[in-house]
Structure 1
Amino acid sequence: MRPFTYERVTDPDAAVTALLDGTDAMFLAGGTNLVDLMKLGVARPATLVDVTRLPYDRIEHRADGSVLIGAMVRNSDLSGDRGIRERFPAVSQAVLAGASGQLRSMATTGGNLLQRTRCPYFQDITKPCNKRERDTGCSAIGDTDHRDLGVIGTSVACVATHPSDMAVAMAALDAVVHIRLAGGEERAVPLSRFYLLPGDTPDRETVLGPGDLITGVELPPPPDGAVMLYRKVRDRWSYAFAVVSIAAVVATEAGGSLREIRLALGGVAPVPWRAREAEGMLTGHRPTRALLLAAAEAEFAAASPLPGNEFKIDLAGDLIAASVRDLTRPAGSAGSFTREERG
């Protein structure tokens, strides 16, 4: 590990000054991802600026039904917050699915959004990786182990997936990221525009510039009458990243048609993937299995799977169908689709 200096700050101005004045400086919050990357040699900061004492550690529930989650709120506090569990249960479910209890007690909201991919080629400094160093090549594409890589939104420069569970739930909830820019101005960026697809520049993952600091995440009020869930398919029950995951938010009309539906997917793309094509096909219609699967097929029409991960497309379709079914099925009804629902 490269020797580094450590500085703890207690106000935002000092944090930005320390970062911009330092050589190869990085912000440090919970460190649950950054410290691992430092041990692997992927991240090699000369200076760590500890921002955990900044005044962004509260959850503010507002009268209009929205909530502002401070960037320094620990994942354990977020998942256990009563207002989050009652009104934004997909967020609580996602955080609880995302890591061990020990990690949740250290990890922060802002850090969770900024965690780096778990692509094994990114983490292995003996292999070329465009995400670590642009224009060096993507080892993942040329190798044979593609199972955990992306199928949509990827590019010839990078096929890695984004690892966050929480970000997927927040994407479905139209979250807005609050940022303090290096110059002191405040900016609010929808989560849908916060992350950048790899294109030719996979080393740039978000809109953040040098010295920019996440201060919080705002969740607008959910749609009236909405129900939601987060569901994760993984290789083992305890502490595993998603093979495919989904956050679904659904509001229905009296006749069973979908007044509003929001779907976000994890494990399939370099960013939390908002399934807007599927949403558009489903809105205003009753969610029969045939329609749900057709919507999923349309969503992945532009997919570019690699040998060995094509199954993610069918798995995502089944996950969309099952999740929407469970959110719209009347209480006490049978577990399978009726003949009418099957279309």
Structure 2
Amino acid sequence: MSTVALQPAPITNAMTVDVEDYFQVAAFEKCIRREDWPSWPVRVEDNTRRVLELFQRHDVHATFFMLGWVAERFPSLVRDISAAGHELASHGFGHERLTNISRTKFREGIVRTKQLLQDLSGTAVAGYRAPSYSIGPATLWAYDELREAGYRYSSSIVPIRHDLYGMPAAPRFAFFTERSGLLEIPVTTVRLWGRNWPCGGGGYFRLLPYAMFRRGLRRVNGQEQRPGVFYFHPWEVDPQQPRVPGVTLKNRVRHYLNLTRTAPRIERLIRDFRFDRMDRVFLAPGHATYPVVALQSEESCAHQAGIQHA
């Protein structure tokens, strides 16, 4: 009697959206003053609704990391995201990078945004993502504040080298931080030729060939048997957004190149892989156990460097 080998079920990855407007990105912070935000045309509500329609067409649920600034101005959008079955999570209040604000202001922002999202949606908020992935060796204190504020997980690290963010020495997959017990879920990278390469979305998803992302995520799901974390922004499905003057060539390329490709590529990605909300992928009972990791603070890194060069 012959037997048929059962194929393992496809791994479910996490689909995430960072809900912020085009004029709030870190690449434009030297061109657009925060006090001038109200003078720019707001497009985040319409663009986010386009994303909701895309997900509805493909029966995909996602996690929306929302700025409190956006939620405060568009409460019906918050309610509609929740009513559609998506997870609401915090992106802080005003998209300040943690390296640019005080610990007190950070605390006020994460508490204010969490409460706002919960009041509007009637659902608990468990997750947080730092603007521009700005948790790093100098801002590890953020984990203590997040835990104190009642968050269960963060997705604020990309373990690569980048001019605006990155923590290449951090683990590539989900882990508990030793200092706070909070679960950190890094954005996906693929390990090749002795280094980590981006495989989690954002600008890289628009700039690099789609086949590279598909191959990388298949490697993570297949060879490593791990779920991936993918992210994008509502402004990335908006090729008609206003052009900001005075932007450097590098940042123009980073922000505007291939905006017309984002939505079609996301639809292709959804057809090629399985996706769901962060909480259901990483927090559901019966899921994998995660290691406890002691991340190195800025002081620890400096001390270690001093020992190596002594």
Q: TM-score, normalised by structure 1?
A: 0.28
Relative contact order higher in (CA < 8 Å, ≥ 6 apart): 2
Higher strand share: 1
Higher helix share: 2
Larger of the two Rg values belongs to structure: 1
